[in-house]
């Protein structure tokens, strides 16, 4: 497709698209001739992901560029943002999701290389070897970073809090995800357009993530309250 169609498909102006290219945020277009550029679905998906990261994730252009460069040390980024980041990496690469080296996470979790095999064993993350070095997705990098935050908060191995305890959360997450998919499929008519289903599923996943966080917080507070309450 030409630039005009790319503008129409994404709702983004030519000037802004050129800005994204200038900052290395989009994959290079195909150039059959010197002054001719051909764009494809990867460019559409990448631009839409950038816009979602800006509007929903409230990330600046500079922050998005940092993530593309492999910087995963932002503790304040919401989990839902990483879905769009992985979509952007996939579009940017054209084939596969971009991975980050395990060694790049040590600034947030100094014991990342020690924790990673344990977290992989319980099913929380997946390690991939490339060129003799372990890599993982940005979502999995965030999981390892979160465990580093837990250790910094006092949940240490000396007190019996090893990364293997995450297995309970992995099991709960899998059960909840399967239940959510079953509910979605049982309520959405089979003749709904695929694009509409995808849009609903993506939006619902973000909202349900926030909802589950709030429900879990309430349940945890109630559970601790029962422990502290005197037995009748």
pLDDT of residue 121: 96
pLDDT of residue 72: 52
Rounded CA gap, 180 and 149, in Å?
Answer: 28
pLDDT of residue 95: 41
Q: Is the pLDDT of residue 9 over 80?
A: yes
User: What is the share, in percent, of the chain residues with pLDDT greater than 90?
Assistant: 37
- 166: closest CA among 118, 106, 218, 214? 118
**Higher-pLDDT residue of 134, 196:** 134
Q: Is the pLDDT of residue 227 over 80?
A: no
In the predicted model, what is the mean pLDDT of the chain?
A: 83
Please give the average per-residue pLDDT across 175-196, as a whole number. Answer: 85
φ, ψ of residue 92 to 5 degrees: the values are: -65, -40
9-38: b (≥16 Cβ within 10 Å) or e: ebebeeeebeebeeeebbbebeeeeeeebe
Rounded CA gap, 99 and 134, in Å?
Answer: 10
Least confident of 34-38, 40-44, 78-82, 227-231: 78-82
- 43: closest CA among 20, 71, 61, 66? 20
pTM of the model: 0.59
Joined tokens for residue 25: 């945020």
Joined tokens for residue 188: 């959405």
Rounded CA gap, 226 and 220, in Å?
Answer: 10
CATH 3.30.160.20 for domain 1-71: no
When mean pLDDT is compared over 28-42, 73-87, 153-167, the highest value belongs to 153-167
Q: What is the dihedral of CA 49, 54, 57, 60, to 10 degrees?
A: 120
Q: CB–CB of 31/37 below 8 Å?
A: yes
SS percent in the chain: helix, strand, coil, step 5: 60, 5, 30
pLDDT band at 231; cut points 50, 70, 90 = low
Rounded CA gap, 57 and 62, in Å?
Answer: 13
- Helices and strands per DSSP (H, E), number in the chain: 9, 5
pLDDT tens digit sequence for 51-110: 877 776 677 888 777 766 655 555 445 554 555 565 665 555 544 456 789 998 898 899
Name the residue ranges covered by the structural domains of the chain. 1-71
Please give the average per-residue pLDDT across 123-129, as a whole number. Answer: 93
pLDDT of residue 112: 95
Rg (CA), the chain: 21
When mean pLDDT is compared over 95-104, 188-197, 216-225, the highest value belongs to 216-225
Please give the average per-residue pLDDT across 129-149, as a whole number. Answer: 89
Rounded CA gap, 124 and 108, in Å?
Answer: 18
């Amino acid at each position: 497709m030409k630039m005009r169609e790319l503008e129409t498909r994404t709702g983004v102006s030519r000037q802004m698209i050129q800005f994204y290219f200038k900052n290395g945020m989009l994959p290079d277009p195909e150039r059959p001739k010197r002054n001719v550029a051909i764009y494809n679905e990867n460019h559409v998906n990448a631009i839409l992901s950038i816009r979602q990261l800006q509007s929903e994730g409230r990330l600046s252009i500079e922050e998005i560029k940092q993530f593309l460069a492999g910087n995963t040390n932002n503790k304040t980024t919401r989990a839902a943002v990483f879905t769009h980041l992985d979509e952007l990496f996939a579009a940017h690469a054209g084939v596969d999701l971009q991975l980050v080296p395990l060694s790049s996470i040590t600034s947030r979790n100094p014991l990342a290389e020690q924790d990673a095999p344990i977290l992989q064993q319980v099913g929380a993350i997946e390690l991939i070897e490339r060129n003799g070095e372990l890599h993982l997705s940005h979502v999995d990098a965030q999981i390892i970073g979160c465990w580093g935050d837990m250790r910094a908060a006092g949940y240490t191995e000396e007190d019996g809090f090893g990364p293997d305890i995450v297995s309970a959360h992995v099991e709960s997450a899998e059960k909840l995800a399967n239940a959510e998919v079953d509910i979605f499929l049982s309520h959405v008519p089979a003749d709904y357009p695929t694009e509409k289903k995808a849009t609903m599923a993506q939006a619902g996943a973000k909202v349900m993530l926030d909802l589950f966080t709030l429900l879990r917080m309430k349940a945890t507070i109630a559970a601790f309250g029962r422990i502290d309450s005197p037995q009748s």
